[in-house]
Every structure is written in C-alpha cells, then in structure tokens.
A and B are shown apart, each in its own frame.
Chain A
Amino acid sequence: MDTILKNLKNFTAKRKVGVIPGFGLSIGITITLISFIVVIPLLSVLVAISGFTWKEFWDCITDKMVLHAYQVSFVCSFIAALINCVFGLILAWVLTRYKFPGRRLLDGLIELPFALPTAVAGIALTTIYADQGWIGSLFKPLGVKISYTLIGITIALIFIGIPFVVRSVQPVLEKLDSQYEEAAEMLGASRLRTFFKVIFPEILPALLTGFGLAFSRGLGEYGSVVFIAGNIPYKTQIAPLIIMGKLEQFSYAGATAIALVMIVFAFILLFAINFIQGRMNKAAKNS
C-alpha cells in the first residue's frame, strides 16, 4: 500500500512539474546567453593559453615580480576581510539588536561601496589618505604613510568588502531564536559567554560566507585599489595591476597566464562559498 501511495505521489509530483509551461523556451534562452557571455569567453582563456609550452607558462606565473604581486593581493585581501569580519559582525549586531536614532540611515549606508563607482572611491581614498589629505595628514607626524603603501591597499579593500560581511550576517542574526540566549542567561552564563557559546556558532557559517565574498572581491578588485596602490613593483603591485601592465605592453600571453592562475583561485573560493551556503540552507531547512 505504502509503495503504491509513494508511486502515486511521485507520479503526481512529476506531473505537477510538467504543467507549468515555458521550460523549453526559458532553458534555451538561459543556456544560450550563459554560453555566449560566460562560457565561451572563459574558454577563450584556455585557447589563448594553449599556444604556450608548459615551461613558458610556468616561468611566467612564477616570475619574481608576479609572485610578489600575488602575495600582496593575498595578504592585503586576507587582512581586510578579517577586519571586515570584526566590524561587519559589530555592525550587523548593532543594526539588528539595538534601536537608536539614525539606525535606518546607518543601515542604508552599508551598501554605499556597491553604489559608488570604484574609481570614484579610489581617487577619494587616495586623496584623503595622502600626506596632505584629511586623514593622511593626521598620521604623517607619526611617520605612518597610508597612500601608496600596503596599508592604503588594505583600507581600500576594507571599504569595498564591508557590505558583504554585514549583509551575510545580518539576516541570520535577525532570524536567530532568542530562547536559547535567554536560557543561557537564566542558567547564569555571562553575556560574553552567551555570545561565544550560543550565538557565535549559529552565525559562523554566515560570517565565513561574508569573509569568503569579501576576500574574493579583494583579490580581484581593481578600481578602488589602483590609485591608492601606486603600482610600485615589489612593493604595492597587486595581481590585477600586473595583468593590466602586461596588456599595456601587448604581452597578451603573459597577461593570460596570470589571469588563469587568478581564475583558478577564484573558482576555488566560489566553490568553498557555495559549499558553506549549501550547508547553511540545509541546516535552515532541518530546523
């Protein structure tokens, strides 16, 4: 009997899916557009790289200057994403837990880095943090230079990455059931302990997603970083700038080789983020 019911259910389920029209048209258009805009252009990288011998390719991507640029990109993005995790978490917390005048304004401003063109952010940050700039001049007496140093790059990447963390963590905090917190408090746990033992584990996946998104954006970021970096080889040259430099010298092969390495990094990050998000969705469904 059970199996018959199951079969019947399966059958109706299958039929149900079948009643909505437009599968052929919509999937056709979707696949066509994805192929033309994403798949074929990306495969062109492989076509372009196939003219390389393995040794040329290897020499190109392990060139000292290139390796240094990867390192700068990686370290600065990582530190910026970490700082964003701290401030993003505090921002998300304050925006969901506290009511105070100006909260909505603060909330609305979070996406500013998405709305403001990166080149505009770039020139603004460079000028503010230069030696004569508003903030740069405050640090100059201390002997700290910000524009055209690694600190400057990191600040630009913090700017660009903050919305990712806030917007990943905020919805999870909003949906968090307060009964566990209350229980922990009733049992005598301090607020700090409640936070780290009860709340933090719940928001950790979202925080990781935010970290991943901010980190990945930082690795590829160009507009907001290019001005403040100053493009000094072995010092503040980042990976996207090396690609740009190679293109300006018409060294397409070199640019493509470095791009391929960055694409591989980006894919690894993308899969990691999707994996965490998949687990989050599953956990949300089970609860």
Chain B
Amino acid sequence: MKQEIKSSVTRIVLIALCVIFVGVMLIVPLASVLVYSLREGWEVFSSTISDKYTIAALKLTLYAAVIAVAFNTIFGLFSSWAITKFRFKGKNFLTTLIDIPFAISPVIAGLIFILIFGRIGWAYDFFNNHSIKVVFAVPGIVLATIFVTFPFISRELIPLMHSQGSEEEEAAALMGAKGLTIYRRITLPHIKWGLLYGIILCTARALGEFGAVSVVSGKIRGKTNTLPLHVEQLFQEFHLTASFAAASILVLIAIIILILKNIVEYKGKKEENFRVR
C-alpha cells in the first residue's frame, strides 16, 4: 500500500517535471514568437509579411529547400540501396562519410564552400571565367543547404532497409524481375513511410538552415537573403516586431512539419514498416 502511494507520487512528480520542462523550454519560445509578432497590432504584422523583401526571402528559402530535398532524396535512395543490398569493402567508412555533415558546425559547412568558390578558392578562376557566381549568390546557398541536409534521408533509410533484409528482392530477382520493377513493387512500398519521414526532417532543416547559409549568402536584401537571414537582419536592426512577424511564417511552417511528422510516424508504426526507434 505504502509502495503504491509512493509510486503514484513519483509518477505525478515526474510527469509534472516533464510538462514544466517542455512548457518552459519549448512552448514558451514558440508562443513568444506569435505574441511578439502581433504586439503592435495586425497592421504591422501584415505589412511585414507582405513586404517585398520578406516575400523574396520566402521564395528563395523554398527554392533552395526544394532543390536540396530533391537532391538528397535521390542520394538517399541510391545510397541506401547500395549500402543495404550489397556487401563490399569500406562500407562502414562510406556510412561514416555520409554522417559528416551532421557532425560539423554549419558555419564550417559554409566556410568550405567559400574555400572552393570564393576569391581565394581553387575553383574561383574557372567559374569566374565562365562568369558564374557561386558564393554570395544563389548557387552557394543551394550548395550549403544540400550539404547540411545531406545525411537526413539516407540515415533514415539505411537502418530501415537493413532491418528488413533483402530476401523478397532476391526472390523477385531470381524470378526475373528487372531492377526498377523490384524497386517499385517491393522495396518502395516497404520504405515509403520512412522515406517520407526523412523527407520531412530534411525539409525542416533545409527551410531553417541559418549558419551555413549565412556564411555563403552575402545577405543582399531581395536577392540572396533567405527567410531566416531576413529574420536576423530585422532583429539586428532593432525592428523587433517585424523580425518576429517574419519569424512567425517559419513557426507556422514548423508546426505544420511537426504535425506531418507525427502523422507519418503514426501511419508507419501502424503498418509496421518503420524503423523501430
């Protein structure tokens, strides 16, 4: 009896601790963005988010994210196939290489592209001769975004496909199915929720990337400013309300992403073809 009371007290205390922690650490910052953005009324809010620089920044952010996600999806599909369906030497090394962008600072991710394409970079002359601007321009932003989101999809697919084994694919291949047919009919249905999950996480990071993009962007308003950079600029110029208003667009996207992520996770678990976390 005593033990039971004690355990229910622990239970309540622990749950309360969690609710307080999540409330203070996660919900308060989220709510603060929305509250601060509406502090000076609806007018200021709507004029900021319909501002041409905000719109341009949003467009560039979406553009970079779409390319990065498409690129990394292709990479994720091929690399997970190569790594989980075949045996070869150096596989562990290859997997570690994929993880590198997660491990290093986004600022360094930006720096490495400056070291290649910047004025001091070894590829500068070549691109300059063809009058292609990479850094402090849109291509650099796209490249930096691809780099920081590089592992997301393959990291989701590799453990998933590993745990599923490859008997079904082998059987299909022995019966004479072509590679694409095997992929479309067998592999893809098994991994679709994991793939979607990876795409969602990748999109979130691509939309929100700040450090790497901030190094290579040059921050020209209306041209090379992404939405997170625009938020920063407004904040540094003490346009606090405007900054929070622009940030509220990103908060909205984040909430949608979070909801989508949970739906995908739920569906995937239901169909039991999802990485057991």
Which A residues are closer than 8 A to B by beta carbons? 16-17, 19-23, 25-27, 29-31, 33-34, 37-42, 44-45, 47-48, 87, 90-91, 93-95, 98, 100, 102, 104, 106, 108-125, 127-128, 134-135, 155, 158-159, 162, 167, 170-171, 174-175, 191, 216, 219-223, 227, 239-240, 243-244, 247, 252, 255-256, 259, 262-263, 266-267, 269-271, 274
Contact = CB atoms under 8 A, between A and B. Distances in A.
Contact of B112 (A17, A44, A116, A122): A44
A22 B85 CA distance: 9
Interface in B234-277: 235, 240, 243-244, 247, 250-251, 254-255, 257-259, 261-262, 276-277
Which 4 A-B pairs rank lowest in CB-CB distance, beginning with the nearest?
A117-B208, A220-B105, A222-B211, A223-B210
Query: At the interface, is chain B mostly helix, strand, loop or mixed?
Result: helix
23 contacts: A30-B75, A34-B94, A38-B98, A42-B112, A94-B18, A106-B22, A109-B22, A109-B27, A111-B261, A112-B26, A113-B26, A114-B204, A117-B227, A119-B228, A120-B228, A123-B33, A123-B231, A243-B105, A243-B111, A244-B215, A259-B111, A263-B108, A269-B103
Nearest to B166: A20
A215 to B, nearest CB: 11
Query: At the interface, is chain A mostly helix, strand, loop or mixed?
Result: helix
Contacts of B166: 20
Contacts of A267: 103
* Chain B: interface size category: 35 or more
Given A125-B29, A127-B36, A127-B240, A116 B211 contact: no
A223 B179 CA distance: 43
B26 A159 contact: yes
- Interface core residue of B24, B27, B108, B118 (most chain A CB under 10 Å): B108
B208 A38 contact: no
A20 B169 contact: yes
Contact of A26 (B81, B98, B208, B209): B81
Contact of A98 (B15, B94, B231): B15
Contact of B115 (A45, A104, A110, A221): A45
Contacts of A37: 75, 101, 146-147, 150
Contacts of A113: 26
Given A120-B231, A120-B250, A114 B112 contact: no
B44 interface: no
